[in-house]
Amino acid sequence: MRLLVEPAKVGVLVFVAAILQVSIFSTLQILGGAPDVVLLTLVGIALLRGSIYGACAGFFAGLLIDTANLGTLGVTSLLLTIAGYWIGRYGETTGRDRAHAPFVSVAVATILVQFGALFLHYMLGDPVSARVVLLDALPAKVGLNLLLTLPVYALTRWVLGLGTAPEGATEVQLLG
Amino acid sequence: MAGSLVLLSVVLITIYFREPVGGGLHGVQSGGATVLRPFEVGAERVARPFRDAYGWFAGVLHAKSENGRLRKEVDAYSALATRNANAVQQNAQLKSLLKYVSAPQFPKNFDPVATDVISRPPAELAQQVGIAAGSSSGIRINDPVVNADGLVGKVTQVASHGAEVTLLTDPDLMATAVDLRTQATGLVGNGQGRGTLILDRVSKSDDVKAGDLIVTQGWHYKKLSSIFPAGIPVGVVTSASVNDTDLYWQVQVSPRVHFGSSLQSVLVLVPKSRPH
């Protein structure tokens, strides 16, 4: 049952985040940048559920965003799949049980995704201004994402924990 | 697993990039956008009261400083409106005397489709917005898009119940425009600063100065015509300069349309008769 419930919860989280992003959060231009709740949700999912969930959630989120925006299909999927996998690996290794892991992941992922998006758009011949993307929008985006990290991470952890029994030792086995 | 998803993304990009606009993947995306549309509209409606409240508070802060300036403008425009009304009447009389054949005019020759803006990609990466009306409302690619303030852009992709509008701030979009005071013509498009426009290709022999109103020109040549009808307000000249090395005026234009989050609804101008 858990095998089905977990992906369903992740799917619903990603779907809601993508819809909110394209219809609400993208319009909130504050100091030149807009928060990215899809990336924040992805950070939560990847840190709490690992790299495979992170990559799959990133791919699904990217497809939804590109479909809703009628953008080049696959661009956002590629960026978020790599971001989700990297954050998941970080959570499974050095970031395990570190309180600052969500903040580090959000800051680094925001910067790398923005650089990656700029590079991909250049490769596809889209007219993009590096100054606007990196100087005007990026600092504000990083700041806004860091401000929203804690509430979105807490919400993601709560949703992923719904209907799941708390983990704990049910039996003590003496070794040696 | 992650490697396969990355590969799949690259394959999707390649196919989407290479296929024509009516290709299979575009069709699937169009269908997907139609399915997602009710969710976007729902989220947008839930958020609208909060956005309006934010806009109200922000507006109140600026209202006092704007009040004095607007009162002066109202006085100036009242006098101008009287003169214009006389000129319009005289113009109509002269046209009927000359049996003058006009090009398509805005808004007379168009059926406007009013629709919500329902999605936006990150503004720093793309200058497109998604709207809630599509081909089922008669909208086609290249239809001009306006709002109460002026020219917004044009339709660049159409699904059955949604469409993509490329804003005038996109570097790939330009419109022929004219200085209403001097009739100096040029191409208006994306400027250097964020959300600013430039009026390019204005000959040095013409006259342009700060404060001039720029509107679309709407040219017509044999079977070809501009996709933007004449007379749609674009913006106001904020600076105009020339130097010895340049061939043209350097004209900065402040757009009348606010392309930010306040752009919540638009009118798509669907021509009453389309050229075949």
Mean pLDDT for all residues in chain B: 85
Structural domain boundaries, residue A129: 2-161
Asked if the structure places residue A170 within a domain, the reply is no
Asked if the structure places residue A168 within a domain, the reply is no
Q: Which residue of B has its CA nearest to A76?
A: B9
Quick one: pLDDT band at residue B65, thresholds 50, 70, 90? confident
The predicted-structure confidence for A89-139, as pLDDT tens digits, reads as follows: 998 888 777 888 899 999 999 999 999 998 988 888 877 778 888 888 889
Q: What percent of chain B has pLDDT over 70?
A: 94
The H or E element that residue A52 is part of is helix A51-69
Among A64-68, A159-163, B145-149, B266-270, which stretch is predicted with the lowest mean pLDDT? A159-163
Give me the pLDDT at residue A173, please: 62
Quick one: pLDDT band at residue A165, thresholds 50, 70, 90? low
- pLDDT(B29) > 90: no
Q: How far apart are CA A112 and CA A56, in angstroms?
A: 19
Number of CB pairs < 8 Å for A and B? 146
Q: Higher pLDDT residue, B223 or A151? A: A151
Reported ipTM: the value is 0.81
Among A61-65, A154-158, B34-38, B212-216, which stretch is predicted with the lowest mean pLDDT? B34-38
Asked if the structure places residue A176 within a domain, the reply is no
Closest CA–CA distance from residue B194 to any residue of chain A (Å) = 7
Q: How many domains does chain A have?
A: 1
Asked if the structure places residue A113 within a domain, the reply is yes
Partner-chain contact A70 B29, CB within 8 Å: yes
CATH number at residue A65: 1.10.1760.20
The predicted-structure confidence for B210-253, as pLDDT tens digits, reads as follows: 888 999 988 777 777 788 888 899 999 988 887 766 778 888 89
Q: How far apart are CA B229 and CA B219, in angstroms?
A: 8
Judge whether B182 and B208 are in contact, CB under 8 Å: yes
Give me the pLDDT at residue B196, please: 81
The predicted-structure confidence for A16-41, as pLDDT tens digits, reads as follows: 999 999 888 887 778 878 899 999 99
Asked if the structure places residue A166 within a domain, the reply is no
Quick one: pLDDT band at residue A76, thresholds 50, 70, 90? very high
Q: Higher pLDDT residue, B275 or B58? A: B58
Asked if the structure places residue A169 within a domain, the reply is no
Q: Which of B1, B4, B8, B9 to mutate to test the interface with A (most CBs of A within 10 A)?
A: B9
Q: Is the pTM of this model over 0.90?
A: no
A24: contact with B, CB 8 A cutoff: yes
Asked if the structure places residue A125 within a domain, the reply is yes
Give me the pLDDT at residue A15, please: 94
Partner-chain contact B162 A70, CB within 8 Å: yes
Quick one: pLDDT band at residue B20, thresholds 50, 70, 90? confident
Asked if the structure places residue A173 within a domain, the reply is no
- Scan residues 103-162 of A and list those with Cβ closer than 8 Å to B: 117-118, 120-121, 124, 126-129, 132-133, 136-137
Q: What percent of chain A has pLDDT over 90?
A: 50
A166 upstream amide cis, omega within 30 of 0: no
- pLDDT(B169) > 60: yes
- pLDDT(A46) > 90: yes
Q: Which of B125, B139, B158, B173 to mutate to test the interface with A (most CBs of A within 10 A)?
A: B125
